[in-house]
Every structure is written in structure tokens, then in C-alpha cells.
Amino acid sequence: MMARMQLGPTLIVDTFAEAFRMRFARLVVSAIDEYWLDAVTRELCGYGSSVIQCDAEIAVERWIEPQESPDGRPAAAVLAFGFNADALAKALPKRVGQCVMTCPTTAVYDGLPAREDAEQDRIALGKHIRFFGDGFQKSKEVGDRRYWRIPVMDGEFLVEESIGVEKGVAGGNIILQGTSQRWALDAARRVAEAVARLPEVIAPFPGGVVRSGSKVGSRYKGMVASTNDAFCPTLRGRMETDLVPDAQCAYEIVVDGMSEQAVGEAMRVAMEAAAGEGIPAISAGNYGGKLGKFHYHLRELLAP
């Protein structure tokens, strides 16, 4: 049994996070300047926190400088996760058609072009959206990639015909416990900012933070998930608690990534960012190891 582990004043609880195999797509969205890029990414990533109810878990992975983007303009790489390729095939054409094509000056490219070293499916994107052009749309091939140019009121909307879908990991998490809401919020923001700087991962909840962590099942018929009562401070004394004695507030940070390794690294960085004054413990959410294929033991992630 591993000895007690601390990061400064913060106890790392001897537990694990349970994550799941999911599929993801990577869209590269560009716009004429940062204002419109911010507008389109906010719209595209809306209502995208959890596949418990949302059609995708989706957020900006990283911002791309004009010199690196496909068309020489400011751009963002957006990761979208779903249970399978079919789910993404339904969600992404709707999101792009309603949230990206409507936004001035934007264009959309596949961020996962076919690679020999990756198992990949292809789903239609511009192939569906092109019909909005009402017969005036035009296609263009560049190498082995096909694009559609759809006439709109400020010129043309450029969108790639299809996009790649690959295997990823979703649901990596830590649960930080604070002596007050203020301490917990400060730590949660540090974590969100640290994770946002990492490649190949997203934290899809609001501001990268989950207030309403969930458990599997409910006492109510038809509910697949309900409040994680073990981490609710107002239920202490009524339910068995996983909060340490000094904790009065808890926040969860959920991480989805392009690989098992990317999620593990993000969790390590998250714990290091969260630990400190006012954070007596860091834990994680799991379902007894029975549901998710990937188990991230917190102390092992931090061990030399």
C-alpha cells in the first residue's frame, strides 16, 4: 500500500478516475479576425458539456496563429467527442450548419486528415451542408481533399466535405476539495487555465469546471445519472461522504483527450495546479471500476 501522499498541504486521496472510450473529431475553424473567431467558437461549443444530455462534448483544444492555419487567418482547433462515429455524424453537420456557417467570414477544415498510423472513420460534413447552396454551391479538390463553396451574403462559406473520426478517451477527472467556495473556485480556475494550455485535450464544462458532479443511476425512474451526493457538503451527516473533514466545497474537472496518455498528463497537471492553501484534498470520481475501461490512479500519475 502506497504511503500517504501530499502535494504541499493537499492530500492526494488514494483513489482513481474512471474514463471511457469515445470517438472524437477535430475541426479547424477560421475567421477574419479574433473577434469573429471568438464568436464562432462560443456558438459552436455551446450546450456541449456532457453526452449524458448533449449531442457532443465539445470545446476549443487550442488557438492557432494565422501563419499556422489552413488559410492564413486566425483559427481554432475544436475537439468534439461522442459515443460513436454515428453520433458525431448527426451532431457536427447541425452544429456547423447552424453555428459556423451563420457566423460572418468563417471557414471549416478537417483537423484529422487521414494518416497511416491512425485507425480512422470518415463522416460527411460539407457533403450535407452544401445543399443549403440551393444548386449554386461549387466543389473544389485540393490534393486528396474536397471542399464545398456555398454562396452566402458576405461571399462564400468554405467547408471540407468530410472529416476524420478517431478513438479517444473521455471522462478523466479530478475532484478538488476546498475549505471554502472561494478557495475552491480559485483552485478550479488555476486548473482550467493549466489544462487549456495543453495539446490534445479539452475540459468541456463551463469554464472547464463541473459544479454538479454526477453518479450513475437515480432513485427516479428514467434518470441515468443524478447528483454525486458523496461530494455534496449539505448532505454530510445524511449520506456517506467522501469529503475530508475540512472541506466545505468541491469542484470536478473533467478531461477528454485524443489519447490515454494525453488525458493522464492533463490530470497530473490539474492536480499540481489545484494543490495548495485552502485545498485539503484532491480526489476523483469513479464507478467502482465497472463501467470505464481506463483507470487513472491519482497517486500513480504523480509518482516519479
Dihedral pair phi/psi, residue 33, rounded to 5°: -155, 180
Would you say residue 288 has pLDDT above 90? Answer: no
150 vs 272: CA distance, rounded Å: 47
Would you say residue 287 has pLDDT above 90? Answer: no
Q: How many CA atoms are closer than 13 Å to the CA of 149, on its beta-carbon side?
A: 8
* CB-count exposure of residue 32 (10 Å: 0-12, 13-18, 19+): middle
Q: What mean pLDDT is predicted for residues 84-88?
A: 98
Q: Which pLDDT band, with edges at 50, 70 and 90, does 4 fall under?
A: confident
CATH code given to domain 6-19+168-302 = 3.30.70.520
25 vs 78: CA distance, rounded Å: 8
Span 169-211, pLDDT tens digits: 999 999 999 999 999 999 999 999 999 999 999 999 999 999 9
Span 24-82, pLDDT tens digits: 999 999 999 999 999 999 999 999 999 999 999 999 999 999 999 999 999 999 999 99
Q: To which H or E segment does residue 43 belong? A: helix 34-44
Q: What is the pLDDT of residue 116?
A: 66
Q: What is the pLDDT of residue 263?
A: 98
Would you say residue 118 has pLDDT above 80? Answer: no
Span 209-264, pLDDT tens digits: 999 999 999 999 999 999 999 999 999 999 999 999 999 999 999 999 999 999 99
213 vs 253: CA distance, rounded Å: 9
Q: How many CA atoms are closer than 13 Å to the CA of 221, on its beta-carbon side?
A: 0
Would you say residue 121 has pLDDT above 80? Answer: yes
Q: Which pLDDT band, with edges at 50, 70 and 90, does 2 fall under?
A: low
Question: Helix, strand, coil % (nearest 5) of the chain?
Answer: 25, 35, 35
CATH code given to domain 23-166 = 3.30.70.520
Span 130-147, pLDDT tens digits: 999 999 999 999 988 999
Residues of each domain in the chain carrying CATH 3.30.70.520:
6-19+168-302, 23-166
